[in-house]
Structure 1
Amino acid sequence: MTTGLPAVTVGIDFGTLSGRALVVSVADGAELGGAVHEYEHGVVEHALPGGRTLPPDWALQIPQDWRDVLRFAVPRALAAAGVRAEQVVGVATDFTACTVLPTTWDGTPLSELAAYGDRPHAYPKLWRHHAAQPEADLIVARARESGQPWLSRYGGRISSEWQYAKALQVLREDPEVYAAADRWIEAADWIVWQLTGAESRNPCTAGYKGMLQDGSYPDRDYLASLHPDFADLTAKTGHPLSQLGTAAGTLTAAAAELTGLRAGTPVAVGNVDAHVTSAAARALDPGHMLAIMGTSTCHIMNSDVPAEVPGMCGVVRDGVVPGLWGYEAGQSGVGDIFAWAVRTALPHEYAAEARRRGISPHQLLTEKAAGQPVGGHGLVALDWHSGNRSVLVDHHLSGAIVGLTLDTRPEDVYRALIEATAFGTRTIIEAFEQAGVPVAEFTAAGGLLKNAFLMQTYSDVLNRPVNVLASEQGPALGAAIHAAVAAGAYPDIRTASAAMGRLRRAAYSPDPARAAAYDALYAEYRTLHDYFGRGANEVMHRLRALRAPGAAASLEAPGTPGGGS
């Protein structure tokens, strides 16, 4: 580093639709400059770039979009910050998860090979790819039958979003792609491979998404019970883990040329966007829950003891910060649900008013909804448009709105959906506390913080103060904090978080009258939640089965037998 110039780190956050780079001061966490690069292909949901159509519940991505973030966003962030490459002492990345892809031995994505360019299963499966629910169900059934000890660490259920369910779907529906995959790797680790030239694995994705517990993956006999050819999955996923906050390697000459940084700059071990944000929000102490709220919501909390919490996404030793048990829960759709409401239920006159006033449709609907009393719309909704991640762990559930009349207005629906997502978070908190894991403090982060009405609703529904992360780039800031530790600027993540993190405590406080009114509405939500979600009425599953019969068969590789059990 050039003498006299302050040290900085670069955090690179790979999201669902874009990636962003943030330059941060090592001394105090000040955000000096950043840049965003929108993915050219976004989320591939309907058809591959070559035109092959996809059935419902698929969500893929294009690896070149991720490389382009390194190519465009990092140099622009350096320029915006007005810093030189020699000031950068460390780099770190974070990624959505479980976003996972098949590659060759050298890390080449199968989707980039000519032989597999028109094969959907050769592409990275985004976190919100939910087409592997049958595989997830089979994984759980076989685990229960054989008494697998790791199942309790995931609340007794495995999500269709995770590594094993997605890999089993590949094997069952396109065994040729599965056989060609030398590596089945999280994008969080793949992007670090691109930067350092060496494969590495992080304990966060391995533990939460790859079912690694107490140093071991599920054994071969269990995997073979799912499919005879599945016994070798660990050979594709298994790799020595590197502790969070340490360096996975250094930038190669090629990566330095791509990013505009110096070759040899330390690169931190990969991480997940939600989990790395805990460092940015100073939410690393036991009992401090962090909700990262965006298209979906991920709930992260540390504890000094392990416990079995029904329907959580996992409890992993050292999964968030070394030395503590990290818990994860989540909601598969939050911001996505609000976007659905605008996309499908916004009358022309509302859209015209928003344009006339120069505000977004979301702002308009929020403004109209905020003036209502609690329960004034006469509605209660279930926030399962993308299925339920916690506490039911069932992505074949679907959304519902009860109480609709001819007088129901768009803002009524919008408010009911906001409340439903808050009720979903309350359900998760109650599950933790009923399992003996107290939630002492609640902090929110993510893109939805800009909606003050939404945040106040959460405070009222939860009947507790809500802290907020005082940064609009939580994952990138958290990654930059990890980069500082990997570079040796701080001895550990907790020390770096205290110096570089940003938190505004009690930004929202509950109103006693609204909180009491929401208790009654929440009781109705829980009635519907348990009725549709716990087996009393399987109508949501039956409707989904009618929606797209034979969808899996359309993805069979030419000349290969059909998938399925």
Structure 2
Amino acid sequence: MNTNVSANSESSVVIGIDFGTLSGRAVVVRVSDGAELASAVHDYEHGVISETLPGSSRQLPPETALQVPEDYRAVLRRAVPKALADSGATPEQVVGIATDFTACTVLPTTVDGIPLCELPDLLDRPHAYPKLWKHHAAQPEADDINALASQRGEFWLPRYGGKISSEWEFAKALQVLREDPEVYERTDRWIEAADWIVWQMCGRETRNVCTAGYKGIHQDGVWPDHDYLAALDPRFTDFVDTKLAHPLSQLGGRAGGLTAQAAAWTGLPEGIAVAVGNVDAHVTAAAACATGPGQMLAVMGTSTCHVMNAETLAEVPGMCGVVRDGIVPGLWGYEAGQSGVGDIFGWFVDTGLPEEYAREAAQRGLSAHELLSEKAVSQPVGGHGLVALDWHSGNRSVLVDHDLSGVIAGLTLATRPEEIYRALVEATAYGTRTIVDAFDSSGVPVRDFVVAGGLVRNPFVMQVYADVLRRPLHAIGSDQGPALGSAIHAAVAAGAYPDIHAASAAMGKVERDVFRPDHARADAYDDLYAVYTDLHDHFGRGGSDALHRLRRIRNRTHTQ
């Protein structure tokens, strides 16, 4: 047990670990003031599995996104010891550790927590592997879940904006049942990776209220009932009872003590506090000092997740969920999101950048994104004559439809690459404004808008957002938002602070009014946003099913 250092000691530190889409990052943080002493990153060996399983040549179906659990354990073995060594702190100074994860990233395990993909006879079965958050192949199951819930008037459906996402626990589990009944039958526990990694660290299964509420349809203390599940599929009747249900733990709580095995992996003392699992965006609220009502936090990276606390419960169209205690205990936590943001910019750079642009960027020592941003920033608003729809990875909010796809309207033979890039950036800002407008019009006003994540480092992107939203943007004062947020929760779990609000106030970091809107540009963007809204509603709300037809044609060709 770690008994040499008090959790309240000036020398005590905590470790936060952020498990992202492609890597895991560990950060060592001083408990007294949130100073970040060191960090280390470990890239997942297998990354995102979307084409073939390791060691296999068989093509995976479209929209598949899987991962390998051993990549997660490797973060504990490599990133944590490296960060601690670089920090100058000793293992004896560490009083707690906490993690956050992408979500819904979910996996099937045995009753002892062994991932089914690690069983020798299931190595070649895709459904035995963790399904990453952006696994969208369960859209037919999500459609069935939504249609039946709407038909039956299930009370929980409005809590999710009227639609359950294909990214979430029930849709993905139902896909496993339908496509590989044997793997489903051998699944003892269907568990979020956020909870599974905590199980690996403290040796006992726990389930957190955040993923249960937002990704698992747990509302008002209950799950979807037997009658509803049986109506979906008789074989699904006992899904909750046998594979999902478990007592739920509050965020900031202590899940247990670090086991001897996990202590050996990390080089940390056995018995230190391991915090209850959490989600990357939600845990970042504490790091960005955005735990109060009306403070919307946008965690902007490959995708964007919008989270906000409120004192009241309301139905916001297209929200990903509203959960009591979902971000901090005692408040209603709202979540919305965009499935593609940085991924969209990256797609254009990877597939549409002319050779001459790549050569110029290399000669000037710039990244492609920096070069395109520089060229785009001088353009007048609307000068490119373009409006795009940011649906390259489908739409999470407010339409909750992952069968939608991207659109660029207004292209001519004179259109330049930087103009397309700017239009894509603007499209993601319009998508965010659509979400903010939905909250404001539903009686859940957005008072502050705080940004975090990798895109905050691009001033061009941030200024576009400030102008489109007509709001000042407050920015997190850390490059390690989720990991810092996890460290803050570790401090609460270790007993250094009475609650998340107090720990956030002492350890969190935010810079106010970093980007202010320009009113002339904002006025011009209002006109473009009106065009975006027209296209958004036409393609997304029944004016045309062209995008759905194209998706069906594409998927059909991949299965022939």
Q: TM-score if structure 2 supplies the norm length?
A: 0.98
Structure 2 residue corresponding to 1:329, chosen from 333, 336, 355: 336
Instruction: Determine which of 68, 74, 79 is the counterpart of 2:80.
Output: 74
Separation in 1, partners of 2:318, 2:131: 23
* SS of 2:512 mapped into structure 1: strand
**Partner in structure 1 of residue 11 of structure 2:** 6
Q: Secondary structure at the match of 1:93?
A: strand
Matches within 5 A, 1:526-545: 526-545=533-552
Distance 1:133 1:548 in 2: 12
Q: Which moved more, 1:141-150 or 1:91-100?
A: 141-150
Q: Which of residues 434, 454, 461 in structure 1 aligns to 2:441?
A: 434
Matched, 1:206 2:177: no
Matches of 1:181 and 1:56, distance apart in 2: 24
Q: Describe how 1:388-403 pairs up with structure 2 within 5 A.
A: 388-403=395-410
After superposition, give the CA deviation of every residue in 1:247-284 in whole Å (9 maximum; x if it has no partner): 00010000000000000011000000000000000001
Conservation of the 8 A alpha-carbon contact between 1:105 and 1:182: yes
- The letter of the residue matching 2:103 is A
Partner of residue 190 from structure 1, selected from 180, 193, 196: 196
**How far apart, in 2, do the equivalents of 1:432 and 1:407 lie?**
38
> Deviation of residue 242 (structure 1)?
0.9
Matched, 1:116 2:122: yes
- Change in 2 beyond 3 A, CA 1:69/1:226: same
Equivalent pair of 1:17/1:39 in contact (CA under 8 Å): yes
Q: Does 1:41 align with 2:46?
A: yes
**Matching residue's letter, 1:299:** H
Matching of residues 207-356 of structure 1 within 5 Å:
207-234=213-240, 235-356=242-363
- Matched with 2:102 is 96
Following superposition, the deviation at residue 50 of structure 1 comes to 2.1
Residue 27, structure 1, aligned to residue 32, structure 2: yes
Shift of the alpha carbon at 1:125? 0.3
- Structure 1, unpaired ranges of 5+: 555-565
- Contact kept? 2:10, 2:31, Cα under 8 Å: no
- The answer to whether the Cα contact below 8 Å between 1:5 and 1:87 also exists between their aligned partners in 2 is no
Distance of 1:2 and 1:165 partners within structure 2: 47
After TM superposition, the structure 1 = structure 2 runs for residues 367-382 of structure 1, keeping only pairs within 5 Å, are 367-382=374-389
Partner of 2:133: helix, strand, or coil? coil
Are the counterparts in 1 of residues 16 and 28 from structure 2 also a CA contact under 8 Å?
yes
Q: Could you say what secondary structure the match of 1:149 adopts?
A: coil
C-alpha separation in 2, matches of 1:50 and 1:185? 25
- 2:140 maps to which residue? 134
Asked if 1:162 is matched to 2:187, the reply is no
Among 420, 437, 457, which residue is 1:450 paired with?
Answer: 457
Tell me how many residue pairs correspond in the alignment.
Answer: 553
Answer yes or no: is the 8 Å Cα contact 2:288–2:481 preserved in 1. Answer: yes
TM-aligned CA deviation for residue 231 of structure 1: 1.0
Matching residue of 2:468:
461
Instruction: Provide the residue aligned with 1:87 in structure 2.
Output: 93
- Residues 478 and 509 of structure 2 are in contact (CA less than 8 Å); yes or no, is this contact kept in structure 1? yes
Instruction: Name 2:21's counterpart in structure 1.
Output: 16
What one-letter code is carried by the residue in structure 2 that aligns with 1:195? Answer: M
- Residue 365 of structure 1 is matched in structure 2 by 372
Q: CA deviation at 1:329?
A: 0.1
CA distance in 1, matches of 2:465, 2:504: 26
Local SS of the residue matching 2:183: helix
Unaligned segments of structure 2, at least 5 residues: none
The answer on whether the counterparts of 2:10 and 2:32 sit within 8 Å (CA) in structure 1 is no
Shift of 1:246: 0.8
- Partner Cα distance (2:153, 2:450) in 1: 36
Q: Distance in 1 between matches of 2:388 and 2:411?
A: 10
SS at match of 1:549: helix
SS at match of 1:377: coil
1:344: Cα distance to partner?
A: 1.1
Residue 384 of structure 1 aligns to a residue whose secondary structure is: coil
Report the 3-state secondary structure (helix = DSSP H, G, I; strand = E; otherwise coil) of the residue aligned with 1:548: helix
Residue 59 in 1 paired to residue 65 in 2?
yes
2:531 aligns with 524
- Aligned-residue offset at 1:2: 4.0
Deviations 1:495-522 (A, max 9, x none): 0000000000000000010000000000
Question: What is the alpha-carbon distance in structure 1 between the residues aligned to residue 181 and residue 380 of structure 2?
Answer: 55
The answer to whether the 8 A contact 1:387-1:396 is kept is yes
CA deviations on 1:264-305 (whole Å, 9 max, x unpaired) are: 011000000000000000001101000000000000000000
Contact 1:464 1:510 in 2 (8 A): yes
- AA in 2 matched with 1:59: A
Q: Deviations over 1:326-367 (max 9, x none)?
A: 000000000000000101110001111111111111111111
User: Which residue identity lines up with residue 170 of structure 1 in the other structure?
Assistant: V
Over residues 117-161 of structure 1, what are the superposed CA-to-partner deviations in whole Å (9 max), with x where a residue is unaligned?
111111000000011111001000110111110111111111000
Taking structure 1 as reference, are residues 5 and 442 closer, same or farther at Cα in structure 2, changes over 3 Å only?
Answer: closer
| CA displacement, residues 507-538 of structure 1 (integer Å, 9 cap, x when unaligned) | 00000100000000000000000000001100
Query: What whole-Å deviation, never above 9, does each CA across 1:37-82 have from its counterpart, x for those lacking one?
Result: 0000110011100223212111000000000000000000001101
Match runs of 1:398-437 below 5 Å:
398-437=405-444
Is 1:144 the counterpart of 2:150? The answer is yes
CA contact (8 A) 2:67 2:129 kept: yes
CA distance in 2, matches of 1:260, 1:410: 49
Q: What letter matches 2:554 in structure 1? A: R
Paired residues of 1:337 and 1:385 also in contact (CA < 8 A): yes
AA of the residue aligned to 2:42: H
| C-alpha contact (below 8 Å) 1:101/1:184 kept by paired residues | yes
Report the secondary structure of 1:11's partner residue.
strand
1:229 CA displacement:
0.6
Task: Give the Cα–Cα distance (whole angstroms) in 2 for the partners of residues 341 and 376 of structure 1.
Answer: 20
